[in-house]
Structure 1
Amino acid sequence: MRPGRVFWRLTRAVALLLGLAALVLALGGALAASTVDPAFEPILTRLAADGLPEAKLRRLFSRAEMVFSPKAMADKLSALYMRKYGLRLVADIQTRLIALGWHPGPADGKLDRMTRWSIRAYQASEGLPPLGTATEALLAELDKSPHHAPAGLVFPVFPTAEVHDVVLSAERMAEAREFYERNRAALARTRQNYGVPEEYLVALLAVETRVGRYLGDEVAVVNLASLVAGEDPARLAGSFTYEKPSPDRQAWLNRKALEKGEWAYGELRALLRYADIQGIDALSIPGSIYGAIGICQFMPSNALKYAVDGNGDGKADLFDVEDALASLGNILRAMGWKQPMSDEAMRKVFYGYNHSQVYVNTIMDAARRLRDASASGTTKP
């Protein structure tokens, strides 16, 4: 066969293969476009209307990981509902525990410190993991194994200032001291540039992420998108089956879901912008159940405003220790940190970072312990 004909046939074969490849890609793109979770389709449309590139959004939302989950919104609404009305499930568990002598009361539907202690005490007596959470499985266990508390059970007297005890445990404080020692130079730079002493920076990170050891086991973009989609009450069907809220309380839940969904939309849009600026895959960013990201757990809108480059590489990567520390110093200064600072002023700044007095109490206690350890020369674990 003549060389020219061979070449022609090879060229034609290559062209056919390329054509098939293009067809496969086109079909794949069409299939991918059809695999957007229906719950996310309105969000994609809204983001595109706000100026984000639709083709890029569609590729992101078509990926297998982008699946709606009602958990984030259900958890948030349950916490709000319990704070306002009390939860029927918690009240029923409290009632069982009171009858069995494990809880001093009242059965108010609030999962407070005493209720958590009572649940753990019962669980430990049954050889169960002492989780201290209120679940339907626990209620079933109480009905199945209605064992009375031992005679003379002594209930604890809790201090007025509640803290996250687990953060102040020996293990967790050792982690914090090791981080302090390992990052002395970066911590000192942050103090010099932003005025926040080392022990407060480390204490906050110890509360938020175990000083970077735990960055969340959720995918931030999926949870934020799910929160947005969860503003539709129909998508939360079953989340309050046990509670059976009255019509007026259901209306309140619906309003709260809409509020939280709108808030989450702003955070989702900010997260996508942050990922684009940093040049990273949005689905590679871990976060909390409510979308906080990085070692210092910034909400994405704060990441856009306050994340700064702490190591001079041109990026503001909240998963890099030096960048995270500088960014933390930056936001705390913006929230009012200045020297000298009274304890009351410090507490106000930390409360602005996370609206929880327990959170603030824990940071202040952890910072005191770190300061005492540093002063005594025992920073190293």
Structure 2
Amino acid sequence: MRRTLSAVLLLLALAGAGCAQNRIVYAQSGVQVQPPQYPSYQGSYTNGAIPSAWLPLYQRLRADGLDGPDLPALFASMGTPSQDPMGRKIKELYTKAFAPKPKPTPPSSKPTTPARPKPLVYPGVITAENVEKCRAFLEANKPAFDYAERTFGVPRQISVSLLFVETRLGTFLGKEKAFYTLASMASSRRPEAISTYVAQLPGSTAADRQSWIQQRMEQRSDWAYKELVALLKNIRSSGEDALAMPGSIYGAIGLCQFMPTNISHYGADGNGDGVVNLFTVPDAVASLANYLAQHGWNKAATRAQKQKVIKTYNRIDIYANTILGLAEAQGYVAE
């Protein structure tokens, strides 16, 4: 039986009474989640049985010192692991490694018309309407952008443009549940865990291909486990509802779409409440500005150098071009 985790993430024993005062706002829905106040954990929170598929991951977290009264209830509330996160990734890697390469077109049959050039920016992003949305967002959240720009030196137009490209200013935070996604991926270490996907891969029954799949799954599982640990720690410090938290298909969270391990390195408390909650504008803006600053953002840098810094966030030219272009449409001068 699925249960909301709002009744079990009672972290007063772990994070102090101040946690109960932290109000979480998911920008996607506008729903406010107030961590309930209880004097202590009670045994009733662990009544549900943990599905057997979760037990190895649950025991690994306990062995690594991450046990807590919330942990059994969390795993008892998630049903069974999904094949999708690991399955999608392995399918992507497998196709890249083993799919037949297209044959070059013979010179005599090449088209006479030139190929259409690839767009330099994401279509439909740098528009007058979106520029006005960014300006309105800046005005509505002026203290947050004032603080981030003053503290980290990243212009507000860059910060708001990054938020727009990542989550449309917090209106689209992902369709998945971050904790469930990462837990599913971390628990998927053998091909049988994603049997539906493996069956669709040509030649996957060969012994060498099975070994290849196994190795890649273990690598991605270990990566997901590190992200899951970081997310669990952040959840416990902020009092968020782990089962309700939205995320990307691979577990990025918040308005600025950080992977959880980035929170400890670059997360910044923009509103002074003592926690980093990337679902609030002040913390998301401060955190992304801190990230860019630590990756070399410099006011005196050239446009090309600033583009290179933005590409540390997402290593695609069109991504950085779009953010710089949207910022420039708001009046920012890159050089």
Rate the CA distance shift 1:334–1:264 in 2: closer, same or farther, 3 A. same
Q: Contact between 2:147 and 2:270, CA under 8 Å: does it hold in 1?
A: no
Counterpart pick for 2:61 among 44, 47, 58: 47
Matched, 1:365 2:335: no
Give identity over the alignment, percent: 37
How has the CA–CA distance of structure 1 residues 371 and 244 changed in structure 2, closer, same or farther, with 3 Å as cutoff? same
User: Displacement, 1:298?
Assistant: 1.0
Counterpart secondary structure, 2:213: helix
Q: How much has 1:188 moved relative to structure 2?
A: 2.9
2:170 aligned to which of 195, 212, 215: 212
Q: Is the 8 A contact 2:181 2:249 kept in 1?
A: yes
Task: Output the amino acid matched with 2:241.
Answer: D
Aligned partner of 2:267 in structure 1 is 307
Match of 1:158 in 2: 117
**What's the secondary structure of 1:352's corresponding residue?**
coil
Partner of 1:187: 145
Match of 1:80 among 87, 93, 100: 93
Q: TM-score, normalised by structure 1?
A: 0.67
Query: How far apart, CA to CA, are the structure 1 residues paired with 2:129 and 2:82?
Result: 33
Gaps of 5+ in 2: 1-41, 106-112
Moved more, 285-294 or 171-180: 171-180
Question: Paired residue for 2:214?
Answer: 254
Moved more, 335-344 or 246-255: 246-255
Q: Which amino acid aligns with 2:66?
A: L
Q: RCO (CA 8 Å, sep 6+): is it higher in 1 or 2?
A: 2
Q: What displacement does 1:299 show?
A: 1.0
CA deviations on 1:76-101 (whole Å, 9 max, x unpaired) are 2223333344489xx8xxx9xxxxxx
**C-alpha deviations, 1:62-113, integer Å up to 9, x for none?**
01x343111111222223333344489xx8xxx9xxxxxxxxx97xxxxxxx
Whose Rg is larger?
1
> Displacement of 1:302 after TM fit?
1.1
User: Is the counterpart of residue 61 in structure 1 residue 71 in structure 2?
Assistant: no
Distance (Å, rounded) in 2 between the aligned partners of 1:26 and 1:273:
22
CA deviations over 1:222-262 (Å, ceiling 9, x no partner): 00001112232111112143332353444333322211110
Q: Using a 3 Å threshold, how does the CA distance of structure 1 residues 240 and 365 change in structure 2: closer, same or farther?
A: farther
Please give the secondary structure, in 1, of the residue aligned with 2:305. helix
Structure 1 365/267 Cα, relative in aligned 2: closer, same or farther at 3 Å?
same
1:368 CA displacement: 2.5
Identify the residue that residue 114 of structure 1 maps to in structure 2: none
Identify the residue that residue 6 of structure 2 maps to in structure 1.
none
Instruction: Give the Cα separation in 2 of the matches to 1:204 and 1:164.
Output: 13
Describe the superposition over 1:182-236 as per-residue Cα deviations: whole angstroms up to 9, x where unpaired: 3334223211210111121111111111111111121110000011122321111
Counterpart pick for 1:236 among 178, 194, 200: 194
| TM-score between the two structures when normalised by the length of structure 2 | 0.75
Q: Which has the higher helix share?
A: 1
Structure 1: state its 5+ residue gaps.
1-24, 96-104, 107-153, 375-381
> In structure 1, how many angstroms separate the alpha carbons of the residues matched to 2:198 and 2:114?
32
DSSP 3-state at the match of 1:196? coil
**Letter of the aligned partner of 1:157 in structure 2?**
R
Distance 1:47 1:212, change over 3 A: same
1:316 pairs with 2:316: no
How many aligned positions are there?
285
Q: CA deviation at 1:324?
A: 1.1
Root-mean-square deviation (CA, aligned residues, Å) is 3.0
- Runs of 4+ in structure 1 deviating by more than 6 angstroms, as ranges, are 25-28
Mapped to 2, the partners of 1:164 and 1:40 lie a distance apart of 40
Q: Residue 287 of structure 1 contacts residue 293 of structure 1 at CA under 8 Å; is this kept in 2?
A: yes
Query: Aligned partner of 1:274: which letter?
Result: N
**In structure 1, what is the Cα distance between the partners aligned to 2:184 and 2:280?**
27
Distance 1:183 1:265 in 2: 35
The 1:28/1:361 distance shift into structure 2, 3 A limit, reads closer
Matches for 1:1-381 after TM superposition, within 5 Å = 29-30=46-47, 32=48, 34=49, 36-63=50-77, 65-86=78-99, 157-159=116-118, 162-168=120-126, 172-246=130-204, 247=206, 248-371=208-331
Change beyond 3 A, Cα 1:258–1:164: farther
Contact 1:221 1:271 survives alignment (8 Å)? yes
Secondary structure of the 1:371 match is coil
3-state SS, counterpart of residue 39 of structure 1? helix
**Contact 1:37/1:68 (8 A) holds in 2:** no
